[in-house]
Amino acid sequence: MVFTLETTDSSSKARAGILITDHGSIHTPIFMPVGTAATVKGVHQKELKEVVNPDVILGNTYHLYLRPGTSILEQAGGLHRFMNWDRPILTDSGGYQVYSLSANRKIKEEGVKFKSHIDGSYHFFTPENAISIQRKIGADIIMAFDECTPYPCDYEYAKKSMYRTHRWLERCIEQDQKEPPLYGYSQTLFPIVQGSVFKDLREQSAEFIAKQNAPANAIGGLSVGEPAEEMYAMTDVVCDVLPLDKPRYLMGVGTPINLLENIALGVDMFDCVMPTRNARNGMLFTAEGIINIKNKKWETDFSPIDPTGYCFADLEYSKAYVRHLFTVNEMLGKQICTLHNLSFYLWLVREARKHILAGDFASWKSKMVSQLNHRL
């Protein structure tokens, strides 16, 4: 993987760059649609490629390990072939599930014992087998196995957890060097900064991560319930420590406003379930604000979903029609909203990139942020 930093905005820390993988280039800043179980929910790969057109998508190690399982993925020749996707893929290590499945897991120094949310069977994840599983999945970018702390979290626990994440990273790096990729293309390991919402821990973790000299770095443990201001403060602290010439990936973030604010702080890559999950509940993100398409006010609104036309669906269907689809619980409604939201998110980060390259990102961002929060 090769990263070229093209420019940095003069009025903020926003950056534009190009990250080259064996499955293609990623133009940053970028948003990565989440395809947890080898699918971005409700979207054909053809639509994903031709309509949404993301440079890279996400898969989830924990979910793919449980179903379909690494044996099937290996027989298929890896996740790219299994799901018929020829662009870059990033896989999360399963570390987030340490946080999200807190009632069904036990953390030890060796690793984490999970109880499957599907059938109650027990599984043991270690830094070593998190790398081995990701070898079999075959994503272009793989993540270190970390512990994502909850919010709120006391200082001593956050500190203990951060040190464990650092020790686990050393084991991940060792395994990554020991075990070659399986499918004839390279995989790049991203380490993850932790430290909850404590400035000194975040600085310490970022320094430790920077010293590993990995090709790129990630920021984890945010967007887990903390106020947005704390997220921005921690991102700012970490981006000031991480090397300038390497991509920064902020995991699990966020709303359109979160994306723009964090781009301004120097983040290059994002992923979040929000555009797809909220779409399935009838929430549409637009440049003018947020629409809840289930509201009665749209019942007789025959205007297009979004006249800007981020995707074909925006102009081909009316608000009244999409509201009707939700009223009668037709799956097409969820699909239309998913296509719109993903297309809007990709438009937003690409527009941000254009303004960074043009040198007027800061003024464009403040105008956008004031619009995005409106409830329409």
Angle of helix 319-327 versus helix 331-358 axis, rounded to 10: 140
The Cα–Cα gap between 92 and 97 comes to 10
DSSP state of 23: T
CA separation for the pair 344, 255 (Å, rounded): 12
Strands of 281-349, DSSP E:
283-286, 289-292
Residue 271 annotated in active site? yes
Name the percent of the chain in helix, strand, coil, to the closest 5.
45, 20, 35
Sorted by sequence, the CB contacts under 8 Å of residue 227 that are 6+ apart come out as none
Indicate the residue type of 245: D
Q: Taken in order 165, 253, 361, 347, is the CA torsion positive or negative?
A: positive
Q: How far apart are CA 267 and CA 264, in angstroms?
A: 7
**Which residue out of 9, 236, 271, 306 is catalytically annotated?**
271
3-class DSSP state of 352: helix
Sorted by sequence, the CB contacts under 8 Å of residue 46 that are 6+ apart come out as: none
- Can you tell me whether residue 303 is helix, strand or coil? coil
Q: Could you confirm whether 140 is annotated as catalytic?
A: no
How many CB atoms are located within 10 Å of the residue 1 CB?
Answer: 19
> Sign of dihedral through CA atoms 57, 58, 63, 65?
positive
| Residues in contact with 269: Cβ distance below 8 Å, sequence separation at least 6, in sequence order | 26, 28, 29, 30, 32, 247, 248, 249, 250
What CA–CA distance (Å, rounded) separates 161 from 356? 36
**Catalytic residue, candidates 9, 92, 268, 306:** 92
Catalytic residues: 92, 271
